[in-house]
Amino acid sequence: MIPEPPPLIVHKRGRRRSIDTDMHFCPNNDCKYYGWLARGNICSNGHPNSGKWRQLKCIVCGTFFIEVQGTIFYRSKASPDKIILALKVMAEGMGIQSTARALDLDANTVQSWLKQGAEHMDVISRYLIHDLHLTQLQVDELWSLLGLRDEKQQRNTRWVWSAIDPQSKLWLGFLIADRSLDAAQIFIHQVVELLAPGCVPLILTDGYKPTP
């Protein structure tokens, strides 16, 4: 059951606000407006110490916070453009060390950005991708090499299970495992959890045969 939103705050006094804060919410868990967008409780409070990010305030509980709190840019001294560029480069297949050399960055910094970006992507995906009404699903498994070579110059092999909607090209998720029937069943159950109740799409594969 979805709770009722708190009362909408209408500001009738003072000059009209010029800063749009409807996409921000109070980060205070004890505030009744916590998590609610566009309720009129958030106002702009300038740029502290002439910083690049704006400070916001919840007028209900008095909590101050920076507009990028809870994002990868929070407390980062690097410019947002450089962070985004590093993530784009890695998304195109360049490794952490190569990205660090190309952008003149420390490898640990790049790895930290990658970790934070992945965590944000996971949160956003879980927030947006649910109760889907799909008619088809394309499920496939890809063979991959993972990790460094051992003393025998061998590397670990894994199968990456993936599922997409062939019509919208929406990627529903992945699972790194073996190519067994157990892995297939685990992955299918994960995908089903994203579908709307009663939704039974046609699942297409490439003639999967489990490895003994």
Strands (E), the chain: 42-44, 55-58, 64-66, 136-146, 156-164, 171-177, 202-204
CA distance 181 to 192: 17
Close Cβ partners of 45 (under 8 Å, ≥ 6 residues apart): 54, 55, 56, 57, 64
Look at residue 191 and give its three-state secondary structure: helix
154-169 burial, b at 16+ Cβ within 10 Å, e below that, comes to eeeebbebbbbbeeee
- Residue 18, pLDDT score: 79
Least Cα distance to 113 among 74, 77, 83 occurs for 83
Residue 24 CB coordination number (10 Å): 21
> pLDDT tens digits, the chain, 212 residues: what are they?
568 999 999 877 767 777 899 999 999 999 999 999 999 999 998 888 888 899 999 999 999 999 999 888 998 889 999 999 999 999 999 999 999 999 999 999 999 999 999 999 888 888 889 999 999 999 988 887 666 555 655 666 778 899 999 999 999 988 988 888 899 899 999 999 999 999 999 988 876 666 66
Residues 86-132 pLDDT 10s: 999 999 999 999 999 999 999 999 999 999 999 998 888 888 899 99
pTM for the whole structure: 0.68
**157 near 147, Cβ under 8 Å?**
no
* Residue 156 to residues 17, 175, 185, Cα–Cα distance (Å): 58, 16, 22
* Alpha-helical runs (H) found in the chain: 80-91, 96-102, 107-128, 181-192
